Amino acid sequence: MPVSETIGGMDRNEAFARLEKQFQPLIDKQVSLFAGGDADADDWRQEALIGLFKAMEHYDAGSGIPFAAYAKVCVQHRLISYRRHMQWMPLLRPLSEAEENALEADDRIAPESRAIAEAEEQSLWEKVATVLTDFETSCLRCYLEGYSYEESAVVLQTEIKSVDNALQRARRKLRKRLAQQPDFFRLDR
């Protein structure tokens, strides 16, 4: 349940300032684990603080979960999302003129190669669908396309935990199939 404008007689900003001070060791530890030697540790710290703020806003005292545990998970999830975002950033930058020209040249040379690759991908997904349920396949597609669990849940109109559970089942089923049939994913031309 969202926090009102006041918490125990304090305004939200004052309450958050106290939380930030209290959870400083947790923030520092999580930032050092995730950022490592990254020069932009301040950005990581800001993301961790956003996670702490969200924990403060959404914590339900009636859940029976200690706030410290809830806050740690919220901070970790925020840092995981930020790491994923940072991994995708180089791919989202605008292309240079040379890169655009190279892509145009590739498009002129290999439309049949692209068609073959698309057909192979379709064949691969058809094989996966023989092992997984439709929902598990959809969750796996979202995950492999770079969606976070939260984004996948929105796209698939379900709960985050449902996405997590489906991906766990998919991994187990695919590992088992590969153990039984090591050439399962082999595409015969």
User: In terms of DSSP H, where are the helices of the chain?
Assistant: 12-22, 24-35, 41-58, 67-92, 97-109, 111-129, 134-144, 149-156, 160-180
CA dist., res. 53 & res. 77, Å (int): 13
pLDDT at site 20: 92
**Mean pLDDT confidence for 7-26:** 85
The greatest distance separating any two alpha carbons of the chain, rounded to the nearest whole angstrom, comes to 71
**What mean pLDDT value characterizes the chain?**
81
Q: Residue for token digits 């290999």? A: 110
Residue pLDDT, tens place only, 89-118: 666 667 777 777 766 655 555 556 666 666
> What is the pTM (predicted TM-score) of this model?
0.47
Q: Which domains does the chain have, with CATH numbers?
A: 6-92 (1.10.1740), 111-180 (1.10.10.10)
